[in-house]
């Protein structure tokens, strides 16, 4: 036994010595040659990696720019080429020149040179934050959209600066693009499908701050800010395409993977040596020291490593005891005033096991708050695990308090929160698993069952969803506003009962960084225009969004669909226009109307009227969710009573509905 112990000691010491010598060799080693991938400058403007102007430089997937006449750098887009005004490789942003603004003249389509801006589908370029887009000479359909068409908005203030009074009556609307909203424009920049001129302004003054004076057209910064994503390692076919510091790894998509001891740098497109190379003014430099100094440092490191190992063994027991105490304290926070329904605290390892280390095939979907994974706990319970991306997160204890409040929300038409995990960088919320997909999929007939929902089932889903939202507004304490009510956030169980998901997650963000105090967030087509304009969230904002859900139930149409006619892109606008022209039957789903009784068709028209009440421009004139729920319940009871009668009497004869 003693020999075995001594052999083990010798083996450990040998391994430690090898580690120390390798550390010394790395320290005194020099950098390998690194192949430059930056493209040459275009005139006076540098072209940073990964932007590519030719096949011999940059990243192959970033051929987004072209150098015209060797002096003018332009961005290539689906709608044309645009001159580059400035480049910032640190923030990965490009400012391009779009349509100029003609001061002291009417803002019409003639004032601009372009009516549309579209990026290539799948392009790494996206529209960045800080852009204010003015839609010029628009049609009245814009008044029904969530755009800012008010006189004190950016367009209105711009018109005040124009000396020609005849111009000030023109309709002009604006769309402010905030940081973090780039995904909405990843596949193009739609202007609501209309032949409408646009002007893009950079860092325009906050439209929510009223000003007495007009905007001086000569001081406005014109252009559009774009951003690009940081690239990964470049693809390759042979080793010749990679430098000495990388290897062409054969896989489904072969890439030049950095060798051991090197790390990919997306800014320069190179593989610098990690431990002892430093970046100096954009280049990689290595500093050699004497060999003896390296060996000395190696042995010093060996002694430090042995000392650290002994210290770690002594600390391990204390750390385990401290962790157990911390878990106990957090569980006590979750159990405080829980009424027997306390949330469970999950560990990070439990979440990894439940999701197979967050495998891509476990992803159920991606919503406004983050990705959702299907998980199976150790006791075989199926759950839905959501990564909450809601901005800057509160501290651990405040998050646990919010989870404790949300876990007390107990209603048959709300997805129940089971617990959370706070050990990861972002909180992981664990919900009950609802297996039958969401309402939007069923309405659009893309669910696995591919069975169309009948009108009776749709009414029941609408009533149950309204019941759940009314509970959040009226019965929960404190009241909870959903903020993102839409058809895809209404889940269906095996019996086609509705359960509203994603409520209350905005409570996890810092109060001064939520949607209430910064930009309005939500889903286009469902977003309350009044909330979009003044950033004040109330229960009536949820009522507006629910009105759009009602319209999707009656029409079987998407809230926003660019495949429809220009004036019908926005579903709420389309129905409002049909109502004004007494053509409401045109929007009813023909499959629902086919074979339906007169009472059933009348109930569809009644639901449209209720939806339009929810969509009233002023939130003061909208009903509460409790009132909406009661009206839907009364409609269901009325239809059921009509079905039970089953007969109609007329002129002394009895007619039986078949």
Taking residues 108-116, report their average pLDDT. Answer: 50
Taking residues 292-317, report their average pLDDT. Answer: 76
What is the C-alpha end-to-end distance of the chain, expressed in Å?
Answer: 92
Long-range contacts of 509-515 (CB under 8 A, 24+ apart): 509/390, 509/391, 509/392, 509/393, 509/394, 510/391, 510/392, 510/393, 510/394, 513/391, 513/392, 514/390, 514/391, 515/483
Annotated active-site residue 484? The verdict is: yes
Mean pLDDT of the chain: 74
At 149, the pLDDT band (50, 70, 90 cuts) reads confident
Taking residues 87-100, report their average pLDDT. Answer: 80
- Three-state secondary structure call for residue 428: strand
CATH number of 336-433: 3.30.200.20
pLDDT at 510: 47
Which residues are known binding-site members? Answer: 392
pLDDT tens digit string along 559-591? 999 989 888 899 999 999 999 999 999 999 999
Q: What residue spans define the domains of the chain?
A: 2-27+292-324, 63-228, 336-433, 447-658
- What is the C-alpha to C-alpha distance for residues 568 and 582, in angstroms, rounded to an integer? 16
Instruction: Give Cα 16 to chain centroid, integer Å.
Output: 48
Backbone angles phi, psi at 496, to 5 degrees: 65, 30
**Is the pLDDT reported for residue 89 higher than 70?**
yes
Instruction: Give Cα 558 to chain centroid, integer Å.
Output: 19
pLDDT at 652: 36
At 281, the pLDDT band (50, 70, 90 cuts) reads very low
pLDDT at 486: 93
Contacts of residue 475, Cβ cutoff 8 Å, sequence gap at least 6: 411
Instruction: Retrieve residue 231's tokens.
Output: 């690239």
Residues 284 and 264 sit within 8 Å (Cβ to Cβ):
no
Which residues are known binding-site members for ATP? Answer: 392
At 513, the pLDDT band (50, 70, 90 cuts) reads very low
Residues 575 and 525 sit within 8 Å (Cβ to Cβ):
no
Residues 152, 540, 483, CA angle at the centre, nearest 5°? Answer: 90
**Is the pLDDT reported for residue 635 higher than 90?**
yes
Instruction: Give Cα 306 to chain centroid, integer Å.
Output: 48
pLDDT at 191: 43
pLDDT tens digit string along 122-139? 778 887 776 776 666 556
pLDDT at 141: 61
In terms of DSSP bridges, do strands 344-345 and 417-421 run parallel, antiparallel, or are they unpaired? Answer: parallel
Exposure string (b/e) for 224-245, b if CB count within 10 Å is 16 or more? bbbbbbebebbebeeeeebbeb
Residue 446, judged by CB atoms within 10 A of its CB (0-12, 13-18, 19+), counts as exposed
Backbone angles phi, psi at 125, to 5 degrees: -80, 140
Residue 631, judged by CB atoms within 10 A of its CB (0-12, 13-18, 19+), counts as middle
Dihedral sign, CA of 635, 637, 640, 641? negative
- What is the C-alpha to C-alpha distance for residues 43 and 73, in angstroms, rounded to an integer? 8
pLDDT at 450: 58
Exposure string (b/e) for 254-269, b if CB count within 10 Å is 16 or more? bbbbbbeebebbeebb
**Is the pLDDT reported for residue 596 higher than 80?**
yes
pLDDT tens digit string along 175-219? 777 665 543 333 333 444 444 556 666 766 654 444 433 344 444
Contacts of residue 634, Cβ cutoff 8 Å, sequence gap at least 6: none
pLDDT tens digit string along 63-80? 888 898 888 899 888 777
How many Cα neighbours within 13 Å face the side chain of 355?
26
Q: How many CB atoms lie within 10 A of CB 126?
A: 18
pLDDT tens digit string along 3-50? 444 444 444 444 555 454 454 444 443 333 334 578 899 988 888 888
Instruction: Out of 245, 484, 539, 589, pick the active-site residue.
Output: 484
State the architecture of 447-658 in CATH terms: Orthogonal Bundle (1.10)
pLDDT at 336: 54
Question: What DSSP state is assigned to residue 509?
Answer: B
pLDDT tens digit string along 394-431? 556 666 666 777 777 889 999 988 888 877 777 788 88
Indicate the pTM of the whole model.
0.51
Taking residues 523-549, report their average pLDDT. Answer: 89
pLDDT tens digit string along 459-501? 999 999 999 999 999 888 778 888 889 999 999 999 999 999 8
At 439, the pLDDT band (50, 70, 90 cuts) reads very high
């Amino acid at each position: 036994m003693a020999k075995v112990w001594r052999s083990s000691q010798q083996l450990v010491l040998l391994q430690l010595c090898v580690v120390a010598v390798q550390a010394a060799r790395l320290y005194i080693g020099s950098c390998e040659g690194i192949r430059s991938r930056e493209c040459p400058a275009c005139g006076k403007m540098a072209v940073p990696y990964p932007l590519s102007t030719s096949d011999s430089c940059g990243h192959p997937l970033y051929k987004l720019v072209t150098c015209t006449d060797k002096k003018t750098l332009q961005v290539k887009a689906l709608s044309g080429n645009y001159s580059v005004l400035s480049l910032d490789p640190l923030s990965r942003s490009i400012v391009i020149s779009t349509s100029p603004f003609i001061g002291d003249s009417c803002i019409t389509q003639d004032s601009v040179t372009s009516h549309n801006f579209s990026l290539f589908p799948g392009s790494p370029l996206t529209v960045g934050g800080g852009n204010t887009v003015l839609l010029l000479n628009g049609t009245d359909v814009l008044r029904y959209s969530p755009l800012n068409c008010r006189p004190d908005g950016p367009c209105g203030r711009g018109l005040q600066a124009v000396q020609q009074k005849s111009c000030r009556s023109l309709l002009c609307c604006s769309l402010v693009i905030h940081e973090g909203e780039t995904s909405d424009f990843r596949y193009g920049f739609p202007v609501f499908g209309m032949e409408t001129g646009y002007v893009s302004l950079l860092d325009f003054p906050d439209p929510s701050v009223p000003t007495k004076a007009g905007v001086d057209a000569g001081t406005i910064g014109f252009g559009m800010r774009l951003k690009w994503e940081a690239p990964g390692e470049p693809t390759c076919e042979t080793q010749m395409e990679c430098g000495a510091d990388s290897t062409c790894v054969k896989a489904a998509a072969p890439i030049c993977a950095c060798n051991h001891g090197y790390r990919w740098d997306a800014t320069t497109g190179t593989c610098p040596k990690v431990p002892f190379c430093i970046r100096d003014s954009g280049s990689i430099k290595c500093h050699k020291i004497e060999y003896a100094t390296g060996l000395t440092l190696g042995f010093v490191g060996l002694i430090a490593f042995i000392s650290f190992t002994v210290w770690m063994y002594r600390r391990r027991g204390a750390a385990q005891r401290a962790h157990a105490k911390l878990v106990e304290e957090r569980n006590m926070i979750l159990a405080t005033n829980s009424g027997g329904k306390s949330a469970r605290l999950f560990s990070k390892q439990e979440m990894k096991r439940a999701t197979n280390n967050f495998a891509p095939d476990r992803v159920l979907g991606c919503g406004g708050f983050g990705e959702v994974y299907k998980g199976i706990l150790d006791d075989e319970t199926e759950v839905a695990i959501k990564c909450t991306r809601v901005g800057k997160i509160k501290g651990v204890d405040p998050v646990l308090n919010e989870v404790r409040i949300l876990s007390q929300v107990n209603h048959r038409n709300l997805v129940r929160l089971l617990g959370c995990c706070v050990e990861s960088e972002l909180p992981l919320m664990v919900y009950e698993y609802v297996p039958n997909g969401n309402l939007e999929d069923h309405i659009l007939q893309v669910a696995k069952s591919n069975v169309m929902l009948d009108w009776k089932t749709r009414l029941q889903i609408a009533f149950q969803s309204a019941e759940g939202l009314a509970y959040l507004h009226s019965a929960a304490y404190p009241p909870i506003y959903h903020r993102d009510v839409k058809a895809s956030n209404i889940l269906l169980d095996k019996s086609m009962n509705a359960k509203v998901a994603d409520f209350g997650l905005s409570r996890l963000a810092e109060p001064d960084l939520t949607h209430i105090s910064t930009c309005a967030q939500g889903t286009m087509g469902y977003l309350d225009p009044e909330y979009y304009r003044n950033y004040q969230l109330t229960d009536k904002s949820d009522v507006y969004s629910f009105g759009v859900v009602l319209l999707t139930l009656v029409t079987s149409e998407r809230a926003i669909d660019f495949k429809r006619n220009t004036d019908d892109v926005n579903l709420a606008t389309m129905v409002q226009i049909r109502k004004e022209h007494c053509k409401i039957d045109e929007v009813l789903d023909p499959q629902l109307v086919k074979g339906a009784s007169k009472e059933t068709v009348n109930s569809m028209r009644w639901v449209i009227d209720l939806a339009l009440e929810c969509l009233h421009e002023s939130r003061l004139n909208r009903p509460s969710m409790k009132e909406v729920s009661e009206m839907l319940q009364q409609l269901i009871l009325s239809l059921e009573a009509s079905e039970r009668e089953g007969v109609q009497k007329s002129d002394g004869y009895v007619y039986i509905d078949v």
